[in-house]
Amino acid sequence: MTGSEKDRLTRLCRQFGDIRAVASRRGQLPALEAMLAELRAGGGDIEQLTRDVDELLRRCGIASGLGELRTPGGGMLPRLGPGHPLEEAHVCPVGRCDRVELDGNGMCELFVIPLHLVRW
């Protein structure tokens, strides 16, 4: 296991309550539990698990996945209530494409309007 994978596993463990809550809100709790079932049964590949959870978080709208929750300037993002990280991104202002900008507030070149800021 690489250092990066160990870091991601540490974040998975440390933030599991938050991850479980996000997965539950997005209807992905059964998928998360299925990912953990094999590991809990004494088998499973930890590296694959962290990749799978990372992807699940991205599907749930957490663009950083199991990556560090940091602002572009390097500071930690503020928390919303007990243990819920603030995530934000700029997205298509008309909901027509999958563009996501994590840094800054760009413009939609097709509609010539600012990207829409979403926070969760």
56-96 pLDDT, tens digit per residue, is 988 888 877 887 544 343 333 334 344 445 577 888 887 77
Q: pTM, whole model, 2 decimals?
A: 0.54
Please report, to the nearest 10 degrees, the dihedral formed by the alpha carbons of residues 55, 59, 63, 66 taken in order. Answer: -40
| C-alpha dist (Å) from residue 31 to 15, 52, 56, 66, 77 | 17, 10, 8, 16, 27
The alpha carbon dihedral of 50, 56, 57, 59 has a sign of positive
Cβ neighbours, 10 Å, residue 49? 18
DSSP 22: H
